[in-house]
Amino acid sequence: MEAMGWGRYPRTQAELVEPADSAALQKHLGAQKKSASFIARGAGRSYGDSALATQLIGSRFWDNFLSLDEERKTLRCGAGVTLGEILRVCIPRGLFLPVLPGTKEVSVGGAIAADIHGKNHHRDGSFGMHVIELSLVLPSGELRRCSAVENSELFHATCGGMGLTGFIVEATLALAPIESSYIDQQSLVAPNLQACFERIEESADSHYSVAWLDCLARGSELGRSILYLGEHSPARSRKSDRTFPERGRVGIPFATPAFLLNRATMSVFNSSYYKLQASKKRRVSLDCDKYFFPLDSLSNWNRLYGSKGFLQYQFVIPSGAALTGITTVLERISQAGKGSFLSVLKKFGAANENLLSFPTEGYTLTLDFKNEPALFPLLDELDRIVLAHGGRLYLAKDARMSEDVFKASYPRWEEFLAIKQQVDRENRIASLQSTRLGLTP
């Protein structure tokens, strides 16, 4: 079959194997040739080539909840369970996932492998920091449990390790108590990037904080943005406080022609969105689905970028250099005549102990670009700007970074590789990404 990530670029022919459970996975691994290589694939929501290889091991059938301890607020489940399923089951019990990305469709295994972050990273850190324990099937077929205290080296390599240390089959997650699934959102308008940074710093106590940025604004308006702050609503004794909103979706049936996304349409969209949001009410109460996952209401929104797909470019730059770094990036994009439909800015808290985890103290900007040949030299240039400002790129979004850029910006890659080689001497676990980045031959 033709396999691709969420960005629909790159694509490759791959065999998809979906074992029914960990015993079937162990049997499958035992029956493979020594030379065969494979990578785990969860819900297929990483953007680039991190879950692409000639053989993909899918976790779709590892979708059981194993136990829920409401008193200790912990949930044990299979790695194929999606975050949306967890919310649907946990919200009625007043429990919530402590870290949520921009879509509820990701699997638990994928969330751990990419050590995903959410709008509350500055406060609660990344997903892996709420994983109490996980079970990993090694390429040898051995099942190994690990946590921050047991096999901790393997644990810190696996959280954020892009599936390269083994197959995550099960995990125990810590949950957070909530009174209501509603989020009280406050929006602040920032006329430029500096103002946006100031607003973010001033609101460091907010539970959730993320800014939408008009990446096409120039000059004194460069970086104009709307900062969205969120807090969990207190209980209002509404029945809907404890239900996960199930809503219909609009599907995008086919890839829309890419020429519809050009600088003119993006510019109109960005500036009208800014003006509309700037004129809207400052405080609203939103259900958690609308607040956290606005794009999920359009299933297959990735098709909007045309048949060639798109690249998402997400980087982080340490706070000290962030204002100049992000300004330079935005100016360079503008000069190149490119733009991003959605641009999202957020402040990260401190980095954790996971060896390949992306978040580190600083500001992160996410941009979407439709795939076209002229884009690649521009992104190479952006890499140099990011690197010069001490930053790095997010592996779950990456489809094209060079080995040099990766190794220069992820200083603990050698420690990671040493652990990977302990559990996978023959380099049987490899993705197109790991090979491109020089982590596997």
Does 307 interact with another protein (rule: CB under 8 A)?
Answer: no
Does 240 interact with another protein (rule: CB under 8 A)?
Answer: no
Measured from the CB of residue 54, what is the shortest distance to another protein in angstroms? Answer: 17
Measured from the CB of residue 393, what is the shortest distance to another protein in angstroms? Answer: 34
Q: Which strands make up the sheet holding 55-58, listed edge to edge?
A: 15-17, 55-58, 39-41
Nearer to another protein, 23 or 250 (CB): 23
| Cα dist from 184 to 108, 119, 181, 283, 297, whole Å | 27, 14, 10, 7, 20
Does 258 interact with another protein (rule: CB under 8 A)?
Answer: no
Does 29 interact with another protein (rule: CB under 8 A)?
Answer: no
Does 296 interact with another protein (rule: CB under 8 A)?
Answer: no
The closest alpha carbon to 104, from 252, 240, 250, 288, belongs to 288
Does 21 interact with another protein (rule: CB under 8 A)?
Answer: yes
Nearer to another protein, 70 or 426 (CB): 70
Q: Which residues within the stretch 91-120 sit at the binding site for another protein (CB under 8 A)?
A: 92
Contact 327, 394 (CB under 8 A): no
Measured from the CB of residue 113, what is the shortest distance to another protein in angstroms? Answer: 22
What are 382's strand-pairing partners? none
Measured from the CB of residue 70, what is the shortest distance to another protein in angstroms? Answer: 10
Structure tokens given for 241 = 């406080």
C-alpha 63/C-alpha 79 separation (Å) is 7
Q: Which residues within the stretch 69-88 sit at the binding site for another protein (CB under 8 A)?
A: 75, 77
Nearer to another protein, 1 or 149 (CB): 1
DSSP state of 192: S
C-alpha 416/C-alpha 306 separation (Å) is 36
Structure tokens given for 369 = 């670009």
Measured from the CB of residue 61, what is the shortest distance to another protein in angstroms? Answer: 6
Measured from the CB of residue 245, what is the shortest distance to another protein in angstroms? Answer: 15
Stretch of 20-28, 186-194, 258-266, 333-341 lying at the interface with another protein (CB under 8 A): 20-28
Measured from the CB of residue 65, what is the shortest distance to another protein in angstroms? Answer: 4
Binding mask 160-199 for another protein (x = CB under 8 A): ----------------------------------------
Nearer to another protein, 10 or 58 (CB): 58
| Cα dist from 277 to 222, 232, 283, 286, 399, whole Å | 17, 21, 12, 15, 32
Q: Which residues within the stretch 52-71 sit at the binding site for another protein (CB under 8 A)?
A: 61, 64-68
Measured from the CB of residue 86, what is the shortest distance to another protein in angstroms? Answer: 10
With CB under 8 A as the rule, give the number of residues binding another protein: 16
Helix (H) or strand (E) holding 27: helix 22-31
Nearer to another protein, 64 or 422 (CB): 64
Give the start-end residues of each E strand in 80-181: 95-96, 131-137, 143-146, 167-174, 176-177
Does 243 interact with another protein (rule: CB under 8 A)?
Answer: no
Sort strands 55-58 and 15-17 into parallel, antiparallel or unpaired: parallel
Stretch of 13-21, 264-272, 360-368, 370-378 lying at the interface with another protein (CB under 8 A): 13-21
Does 18 interact with another protein (rule: CB under 8 A)?
Answer: yes
Residue located via tokens 């005549």 = 337
Q: Which residue among 11, 55, 89, 189 contacts another protein (CB under 8 A)?
A: 89
Nearer to another protein, 67 or 220 (CB): 67
Nearer to another protein, 20 or 295 (CB): 20
Measured from the CB of residue 269, what is the shortest distance to another protein in angstroms? Answer: 32
Residues 6+ apart with CB under 8 A from 440: 37, 164, 427, 429, 430, 431, 434
Alpha carbon 435 to its chain centroid, in Å, reads 21
For the chain, how long is the longest CA-to-CA vector?
A: 62
DSSP state of 245: P
Measured from the CB of residue 36, what is the shortest distance to another protein in angstroms? Answer: 18
What are 361's strand-pairing partners? none
Contact 289, 104 (CB under 8 A): yes
C-alpha 189/C-alpha 196 separation (Å) is 8
C-alpha 28/C-alpha 57 separation (Å) is 10
Measured from the CB of residue 88, what is the shortest distance to another protein in angstroms? Answer: 8
Residue located via tokens 């020594």 = 34
The binding site for another protein (CB under 8 A) comprises: 1, 17-18, 20-21, 23, 61, 64-68, 75, 77, 89, 92
